[in-house]
Amino acid sequence: MGKQEKIVSMFNDISGKYDIANRVLSMGIDKSWRNKACKLAFDFYGKNRIEKIADVACGTGDMIDFWLKIAKQNRIEVENIVGIDPSVGMMDVAKKKLPEVEFIEAGAANMPLESESTDIISISYGIRNVVQRQEAFYEFARVLKTNGLVVISEFTKNEKNSPIDYLTDFYMNKILPTLGGMITKNKEAYTYLPNSIDEFLTTDNLCKELKEAGLEPIYTKAFSMNISTLIIARKV
C-alpha cells in the first residue's frame, strides 16, 4: 500500500468520529477559521453569482456547510457546489449531513472536472495529506476559471520563536494524539497529524509552489497563535 492509500485508509477508519474529534481538539476555533476563509474569498472574488465551488479533500463536508451558509448570509447565489475526496468513509458522513450536495470520489491531483469550469477551489486542512501536491496545484489551475481563487486553510510549519510556539508544539505533539486517540479509538491517526505538520512546508514554500502552477497568492495570514494559516491565490 502506497503512502496516499495509507492516508485514505486511516481517514476511512476515523470517519465516524472525525467531526466530534475536530471540534474538541480545536476547541471549536476551527469554525472561526473556516468562517474567515469563506468571507474573505467571497470579498476577493466580488461576484453575487458563482457558477461552481469545488471543495477538495472535503472530508465530512464541514467547509461546504460554511460556503453555503455564508453565501446565503451575503445573498450570493452559488449554482453548484461539489465535494471531492478519495475517502468514501468520510464522504458517507458528508452525504448524510448534506444530501443535496454532489460528492465525487477522487484525489486532488486528478479531478473529474472540466477545464476552466470552477470559480473557487477550497482545501481545508487537507493539502498536507496530498502526496502529489505540485501536481494538485497544476490541476487546480486547469480546473479554475481565469481570476478564479484557491482557498487553502492549513496547519503550517512555523519557526519556534516564543513560549507560545512551544506551548502550541506541546499541545500538537503530546495532548492532541492522546485526546484524538481516545475519541476515535485510533491514536495512530492523531499521531500522524502533528507529524504531518512537522514534515510539511512553510507558508513561503507553499506560496512558491502555487506560483509555479500559475496561482498567485493574494492573501496569507496566520491565526490563533500561528496554528492555522489561510492562503488565498488567484489564477493568473
List b or e across 24-52, with b for residues whose CB sees 16 or more CB atoms inside 10 angstroms: ebbeeebeebbebbbebbbeebeeeebeb
| Per-residue pLDDT at 154 | 82
| Per-residue pLDDT at 220 | 95
| Per-residue pLDDT at 38 | 97
**Structural domain of 174:** 3-235
Domain count for the chain, please give it.
Answer: 1
| Per-residue pLDDT at 87 | 83
| Per-residue pLDDT at 36 | 94
Report the sign of the C-alpha dihedral through residues 195, 15, 28, 123, in that order. Answer: positive
> Which amino acid would we find at residue 173?
N
Say whether 85 counts as a known binding-site residue.
Answer: yes
| Per-residue pLDDT at 32 | 87
pTM score above 0.85: no
- Whichever domain contains 164, its CATH number is 3.40.50.150
Question: 147 φ, ψ to 5°?
Answer: 75, 5
Structure confidence by residue, pLDDT tens digits, 17-55? 555 555 555 556 778 889 999 999 999 999 999 999 999
Measured CA to CA, the distance from residue 180 to residue 192 in angstroms comes to 11
Structure confidence by residue, pLDDT tens digits, 67-97? 999 999 999 999 999 999 988 888 988 999 9
In the β-sheet with 118-124, what is the strand arrangement from edge to edge? 102-105, 77-85, 49-56, 118-124, 144-154, 228-235, 215-223
pLDDT tens string, the chain, 236 residues long: the values are 677 777 666 665 655 555 555 555 555 677 888 999 999 999 999 999 999 999 999 988 989 999 999 999 999 999 999 999 988 888 988 999 999 999 999 999 999 999 999 999 999 888 877 888 999 999 999 999 999 999 999 876 555 566 666 565 666 666 666 666 666 566 666 565 555 555 556 888 899 999 999 999 999 998 866 677 899 999 99
Say whether 184 counts as a known binding-site residue.
Answer: no
Say whether 118 counts as a known binding-site residue.
Answer: no
> 103 burial class (0-12, 13-18, 19+ CB within 10 angstroms)?
buried
For residues 55 and 150, is the Cβ–Cβ distance under 8 A? no
